[in-house]
């Protein structure tokens, strides 16, 4: 491919709302055979909402929600936005928080009103924070996860304080996008840090067979490398801080413009509007550009 023809492709990309880091990026897309897609915020809208609040015995619902929202106030994750919105809608004031820490792909922690509060995946809280989650609460978390929800547990001063179930809708253009990827001969893979139930619900709706759930940010990077070691040429589509390492390692990293700066900085392409339908367009554009030249 000549540099001039590639530049034409780059210009067409920006008309479509696809920002391309450099013309050489288009050459990499030609051999892509596998497209790995993050779930939350990529295949789904990322506009999550709290659908159930399950406080532990002796914990008031408002106190659970308010403290969780306060701990999440420093987070850019869709789960955080859902919890903060739920507290606001319930008229619960979120107390001041300090010492915020984001644990990518797992949860958050902060000091709220003098109490240590952590919100995140139950497995992470149990392992990293040695929190004991009562069997009945674990059973209810598992039930909600099997129903396809994302569930986070809340821990206050080392004690399990309850859980919040959160739901997210698949993007309206996602089904057609997956069909178009297949028509282009590309194999879709769903890769998520979320639980298997939530991942399977989305995969079933979209007809994706290869599903990898409960994967940490480092695990996402390892997944890309393992696919490459298998001889696959991999495009990765993601939006989160948790996707950045995988986006950088992929043969073609594609960031959703609706996502985080970290994802965009790590990627070769950015879909400015976050319209998933432009993913197959980006790959077709590159193929067409190269065909006219060769
Ligand atoms: P995905 O790969 O679907 O984008 P992430 O890797 O960002 O998901 O997160 C994996 C899981 O970690 C989430 O489903 C949630 O349970 C938990 N988690 C991540 N960020 C937060 C947060 N800010 N607050 C609570 N839980 C979180
Ligand atoms: Mg995401």
Catalytic hit among 38, 54, 268, 275: 38
Which residue, 223, 221, 260, 258, is CA-closest to 240?
260
The ipTM, to two decimals, is 0.97
Say yes or no to pLDDT of 94 above 90. Answer: no
Please state, in angstroms and rounded to a whole number, the distance separating the CA atoms of residues 136 and 92.
Answer: 27
Say yes or no to pLDDT of 5 above 70. Answer: no
Please state, in angstroms and rounded to a whole number, the distance separating the CA atoms of residues 159 and 46.
Answer: 29
- Summarize the confidence of residues 45-64 as an average pLDDT: 96
The pLDDT assigned to 6 comes to 54
**148 pocket-lining for ligand 1 (C-beta < 6 Å):** no
Does the annotation count 104 as an active-site position? Answer: no
Positions of CATH 3.40.1110.10 in the chain? 49-167
Task: State pLDDT tens for residues 156-181.
Answer: 999 999 999 999 999 999 999 999 99
**Beta-bridge mates of residue 119:** 108, 154
Phi-psi region of 149 (alpha: psi -120 to 50; beta: other; left: phi over 0): beta
CA 290 to chain centroid, in Å, comes to 31
Contact 25, 268 (CB under 8 A): yes
Tokens of 52: 């159930």
The pLDDT assigned to 27 comes to 72
Say yes or no to pLDDT of 9 above 70. Answer: no
Say yes or no to pLDDT of 286 above 90. Answer: no
SS3 content of the chain, % helix, strand, coil (to 5): 45, 25, 30
Q: What is the mean pLDDT of the chain?
A: 91
Nearest listed ligand to the Cα of residue 46: 2
CA 26 to chain centroid, in Å, comes to 25
**42 pocket-lining for ligand 1 (C-beta < 6 Å):** no
Task: Report residue 68's pLDDT band, with 50, 70 and 90 as the boundaries.
Answer: very high
- The residue nearest atom 24 of ligand 1, judged by CA position, is 107
For domain 3-45+170-293, say whether CATH 2.160.10.10 is its number.
no
Task: State pLDDT tens for residues 231-281.
Answer: 999 999 999 999 999 999 999 999 999 899 999 999 999 999 999 999 998
| Phi, psi (degrees; rounded to nearest 5) at 190 | -95, 125
CATH code at 49-167: 3.40.1110.10
Task: State pLDDT tens for residues 174-219.
Answer: 999 999 999 999 999 999 999 999 999 999 999 999 999 999 999 9
Give the DSSP letter of residue 21: S
**Beta-bridge mates of residue 118:** 109, 155
Neighbours of 240 (CB within 10 A): 28
Positions of CATH 3.40.50.1000 in the chain? 3-45+170-293
How far is the CA of 176 from the CAs of 43, 205, 280, in angstroms?
Answer: 11, 11, 10
The pLDDT assigned to 264 comes to 95
Q: How far is the CA of 113 from the centre of ligand 2 (A)?
A: 30
Neighbours of 35 (CB within 10 A): 24
The pLDDT assigned to 219 comes to 97
Percent of the chain with pLDDT over 70: 91
The pLDDT assigned to 224 comes to 98
Q: How far is the CA of 44 from the centre of ligand 2 (A)?
A: 9
**Beta-bridge mates of residue 163:** 54, 153
The pLDDT assigned to 156 comes to 96
Q: What would the DSSP string read from start to end of 56-77?
A: PTT--HHHHHHHHHHHHTT--S
Which residue, 243, 192, 196, is CA-closest to 215?
192
**199 pocket-lining for ligand 1 (C-beta < 6 Å):** no
Please state, in angstroms and rounded to a whole number, the distance separating the CA atoms of residues 252 and 264.
Answer: 12
State the maximum Cα–Cα separation within the chain, in Å, rounded to a whole number.
Answer: 71
**194 pocket-lining for ligand 1 (C-beta < 6 Å):** yes
**46 pocket-lining for ligand 1 (C-beta < 6 Å):** no
Say yes or no to pLDDT of 10 above 90. Answer: no
Tokens 């043969």 -> residue: 251
Contact 160, 133 (CB under 8 A): yes
Please state the atom number of ligand 1 nearest to the C-alpha of residue 238.
4
What's the pTM? 0.89
């Amino acid at each position: 491919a000549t540099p001039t023809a590639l530049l034409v492709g780059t210009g067409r990309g920006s008309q479509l709302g696809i920002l391309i880091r450099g013309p050489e990026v288009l050459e990499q897309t030609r051999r892509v055979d596998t497209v790995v897609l993050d779930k939350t915020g990529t295949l789904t809208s990322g506009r999550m909402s709290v659908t159930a609040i399950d406080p532990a015995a002796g914990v008031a619902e408002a106190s659970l929600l308010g403290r969780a929202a306060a701990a999440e106030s420093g987070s850019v994750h869709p789960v955080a936005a859902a919890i903060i919105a739920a507290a606001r809608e319930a008229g619960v004031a979120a107390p001041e928080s300090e010492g915020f820490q984001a644990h990518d792909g797992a949860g958050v922690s902060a000091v709220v009103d003098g109490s240590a509060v952590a919100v995140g995946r139950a497995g992470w809280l149990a392992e990293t924070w040695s929190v004991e989650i009562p069997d009945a609460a674990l059973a209810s978390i598992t039930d909600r996860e099997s129903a396809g929800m994302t569930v986070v547990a809340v821990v206050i001063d080392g004690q399990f304080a309850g859980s919040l179930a959160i739901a997210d809708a698949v993007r309206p253009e996602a089904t057609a996008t997956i069909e178009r990827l297949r028509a282009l001969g590309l194999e879709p893979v769903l890769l998520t840090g979320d639980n298997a139930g939530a991942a399977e619900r989305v995969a079933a709706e979209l007809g994706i067979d290869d599903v990898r759930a409960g994967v940490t940010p480092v695990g996402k990077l390892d997944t890309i490398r393992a696919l490459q070691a298998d001889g696959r040429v991999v495009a990765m589509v993601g939006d989160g801080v948790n996707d950045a390492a995988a986006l950088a390692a992929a043969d073609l990293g594609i960031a959703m413009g609706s996502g985080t700066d970290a994802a965009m900085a790590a990627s070769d392409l950015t879909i400015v509007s976050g319209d998933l339908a432009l993913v197959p367009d980006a790959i077709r554009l590159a193929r067409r550009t190269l065909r006219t030249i060769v």
